[in-house]
Every structure is written in C-alpha cells, then in structure tokens.
Amino acid sequence: MSDRGLSYSPPPVGTKSKKRKAATTSTTTTTKSKRTKTVQQPTKVAQHLLDPFANAKESIRKALASPHSFELPDDEASMRGLVLSISEYAKSLEASVAIAVTSGQPGPAPKPSEQIKTEAEKIAATIKSGIIKQMTWRSTTFEGRTPYVYDGFCSDPRVFGALLNLQGPPMCRTYKFTKDEFSGMIGEITHALRYDTLILTSDVKFEWYESGEFKVKGKYGARPRGGR
C-alpha cells in the first residue's frame, strides 16, 4: 500500500484548547494580581483631619476602659492640652444636642471652636461686603434713613451663634443690636462717595430661620459734615 492511500489525521483538538485555557488562566491571574492594592490605614494626622476630636475620644475611651490605671501626660502643657481638647469636645456635643432639641432633627457632627470661629468670620466678611454694595445715594440718604436688607445663608446654627456672640446656637428668631454692637461683630461699615461718606444710622435687626436663611436689616445715610 502506498503512502498516498493513507488518510491524514490532524492533531487532537483537545490538546490545543487546553493550551489556550492554560494561557487564559495565567493571564487572568496576572491581571488580578496587578489590580490587587494594599489598603493603607490612615495615619494619626489623617485621622485628626477626618475627626478633629479623635484624640479626645481616644482619651475618654481609655479612661472609661481603665478608670483606675489610665495614663496621664507627664508635663503640665500636655495635661492642659488634654483637658482643653475634652472640654471643646464636650461643648461641641452640647451645642449639637441643643440644635437637635430645638429643630427636632439630628444634631450636626461636633466641630472645633476654631473652625466655628473661622466660618463665622467668613460670613461676617460676606455680610459686610453685601451691605456696602447696597449703599448708594438715594433721596433719603441725606436724611440718614435709607433702608438696606441683606439676605444670607448659614447652614450651621453654631456658626451663626458665634457670629452674633451668643453662648451657643440661636434660640430666638430675631435679634437686635445697636449699630456699634453690629460694627463690633462685623467691622466698621462705611462707603465713600464723591462728596459724602455713607455710614450706618440705625439699630440692626437679624432674622434667623431654621432653614439656615437669615436677613440683616437696618438703615444708612450720609455722615454729618464735620462729625463722625
């Protein structure tokens, strides 16, 4: 029988598919290994940025866990810092509870006093700028009875309370201040025109709403010639 009479048998299909499968599995494993990332735990600095009261909370936790043996700082400065941080945390919690009681909603997260002060200063600067923009010459300006109304927004009652120098969040809807008291909170408000300087001439009224909106109302006029 000649070789031409013999039929040709191709290599088994199964062998080739197994090789492809193995290659695919290897590629998938490699891809997964490349995508795997190590989850890093936040550092103490990062934890403080996320929660400025983290140290105070940790000190309280240790004290409650071991009331007779928890460690205290060795030097006076560190001890004062510990007491201050716990005091600020307690005061912030107190303000959050007061907001929850008056609004019937969950209180906001604790916030450091320095942060509250900074936010209040920003709102004060915005109010001052907004009022000055409204101080233009009108027919009633020479008589000192031109009204202005500034509409603002403050989402945190604690910040609004700090703005008004209150001992916590606002408990009333309206607050009234003399123009000197208002200047002490916001800064002196004057606006120079060509021939006159405009100043505040009346008491200032704040209206506060639980939505965070507030209004500032008062009057302004021309500064008396030769006077303050």
Return the ∠ at Cα 65 (arms to 62 and 66), rounded to 5°. 85
Helix (H, G, I), strand (E, B) or coil at 163: helix
pLDDT tens-digit profile of 124-173? Answer: 999 999 999 999 999 999 999 999 999 999 989 999 999 999 988 898 99
pLDDT at 75: 86
Torsion of CA 25, 28, 34, 35, to 10 degrees: -140
Q: How far is CA 152 from CA 40, 102, 166, 171, 209, in A?
A: 42, 21, 18, 18, 11
Length of the chain: 228
Q: Would you tell me the crossing angle of helices 113-134 and 76-103 to the nearest 10 degrees? A: 60
Q: Would you tell me the crossing angle of helices 76-103 and 54-65 to the nearest 10 degrees? A: 100
pLDDT at 143: 93
Return the ∠ at Cα 187 (arms to 183 and 188), rounded to 5°. 70
The amino acid that residue 128 corresponds to is K
The amino acid that residue 161 corresponds to is G
pLDDT at 72: 83
pLDDT tens-digit profile of 182-193? Answer: 999 999 999 999
Question: Alpha-carbon distance 183 to 117, whole Å?
Answer: 17
Spans of the chain below 50 pLDDT:
1-3, 5-6, 17, 22-23, 39, 45-47
Are residues 88 and 112 in contact, defined by beta-carbon separation less than 8 angstroms? yes
Question: Alpha-carbon distance 220 to 215, whole Å?
Answer: 16
